[in-house]
Amino acid sequence: MKKNVVITDFGFPDVSVEESMLADIDCDVVAAHCTNEDEVLKLSEMADAILVQWAPVTKKVIDNLKKCKIIVRYGIGVDNVDLNAAKEKGIPVCNVPDYCIGEVADHSVALAIALGRQLMTTDRLVRSGIWKITPPLAMPPFREMVFATMGYGRIATEVLKRAGVFGFRTAFYDPFISPEGVQNNDLRFLTQTQLFEQADIISLHLPLNKDTYHMINEKTLQMMKPGAILVNTARGGLVDAAALAVALKQGRIGGAGLDVFEQEPLPVQHPLMQCENVILTSHTAWYSSLSVPALQRMATEEVVRCFTGQPLKSRVA
């Protein structure tokens, strides 16, 4: 009997990659563009497997599943899937942690470089008819700046490699890694407080959970150096965007480069839209012409492993 694989939502041109791979193991694919719990609930009840990108796979959805054997998230973060409910139901949840590593690292450093050299603000001055051979704000050389990541996983490691090439002094904070476990004499380990107080550029690379939600807030923004730059290509909920907008408008920090937001699309009236010293991109850090088919293939491979009795590669719950 054919198995039923439900794709709740996707941002790809099509799902031909999934259809081709799953046809080889006698699976039917039903693809939709669910945006809310009720739509996922109706679509997924009789699914043998679920592939999900952004749609909410809540406790209600999971409790309603009749025969699901696996849930796979298209991507790294899994905060749109209720992991506790899946665990209670005995349904493995997997992600794809090893795709788009280079793309997100490139995007993170590109935002930091553009802000560090004040490219956007200088461009706006030139376009308005103001020609100055010095930038609007103080600009230290990269060799005197501390580029630090919050987190030291796959992407953060690649970010710091790239930052080192530009001559930054590199550092990181990660609550789950001891400094003794890092084989890099040029890389400094900082406590969380030290990072906020010493870093000129802070790039966020942590998962979103109850401990990291709004870790960038009014209090921690006050701790940051004047002129410091914040980059977030991880999860929108790591940052209290309203507090960040206030800090930017008041000039308490130098700038921010943001690719992810708690609410996407970012509302046109959001206060961040009124800030001049911020670069906003539309959740594109993951993208390249190669990352899309790689994501589809890797996520589907996990379903194939489940249905063919192979060990799962990237189980998170």
**Do the domains 101-280 and 3-99+289-307 match in fold?**
yes
For 216, phi and psi rounded to 5 degrees? Answer: -95, 105
Q: What is the CATH number of domain 101-280?
A: 3.40.50.720
Give pLDDT, residue 182.
76
The per-residue pLDDT for 177 is 87
Rounded CA-CA distance 275/59 in Å is 38
Residue type for position 288: S
Residue ranges for the chain with pLDDT beneath 50: none
pLDDT in tens, 258-295: 999 999 999 999 999 999 999 999 999 999 999 999 99
112 close to 257: Cβ distance less than 8 angstroms: yes
Q: Give the model's pLDDT for residue 254.
A: 96
Q: Token pair for residue 210?
A: 């109850």
3-99+289-307 placed in CATH 3.40.50.720: yes
Could you tell me the pTM of the whole model? 0.91
d(CA 260, CA 229): 16
Tokens of 231: 């980059």
Give the strand order in the sheet containing 169-173. 187-189, 169-173, 146-150, 201-204, 229-232, 255-258, 278-280
Spatial separation of the C-alpha atoms in residues 154 and 159, rounded to whole Å: 9
Q: Where are the domains of the chain?
A: 3-99+289-307, 101-280
Burial 75-103 (b: 16+ CB within 10 A, else e): bbbbebbbbebbeeeebbbbbbbebbbeb
What is the per-residue pLDDT for 1?
85
Pair 25, 4: CB distance under 8 Å: no
Q: What's the number of CA atoms in the CB half-sphere (13 Å) around residue 2? A: 11
Catalytic (active-site) positions: 235, 264, 283
